[in-house]
Amino acid sequence: MQELQQPPEYAAVCHILAAPVLRRRTAPYVLEDDFDWEGLLREAETMSGGERLLVKLAAELWNAEKTTGIWEIPRRLDGENFIRVIEALYLCRDWAVAVAVAVSWDESAEDIAA
């Protein structure tokens, strides 16, 4: 049997939908080669604002249709889910390992600029 080859966006969307706050509710809508977006969006109607944003971001990555604003990612997601979305973007680039770029709290702006 031939292995199904998925675009990198599939892994990225799965990564977002597998977030601990979502996975129980989104798992039934994740298919082998696609997603049940009608079902996912219907399920998202009863989710919190941050959870709903994750589903909408996943849909935007998969469908390449603008439905969210980039401003929502840092302003509406908690730290864990913010990182998950950034990791998903790395996966979209087909990078197997998401390397987080972070600035530690003790670095000053001058140290960063240098």
- Please give the pLDDT value at position 66: 93
CA dist., res. 91 & res. 98, Å (int): 7
The pLDDT of residue 109 is 42
Asked whether residue 2 is assigned to any structural domain, the reply reads no
Domain-embedded: residue 57: yes
Q: Which residues of the chain have pLDDT under 70?
A: 1-4, 96-114
Residues spanned by the domain of 21: 8-113
- Looking at the structure of the chain, the number of domains it has is 1
CB 61 within 8 A of CB 88: yes
Q: What is the pLDDT of residue 25?
A: 97
Q: What is the pLDDT of residue 2?
A: 55
Alpha-carbon gap, residue 89 to 87, rounded angstroms: 5
pLDDT of residue 3: 64
**Does some domain include residue 1?**
no
Residue from 12, 42, 20 nearest 29 by CA:
42
Domain for residue 72, yes or no?
yes
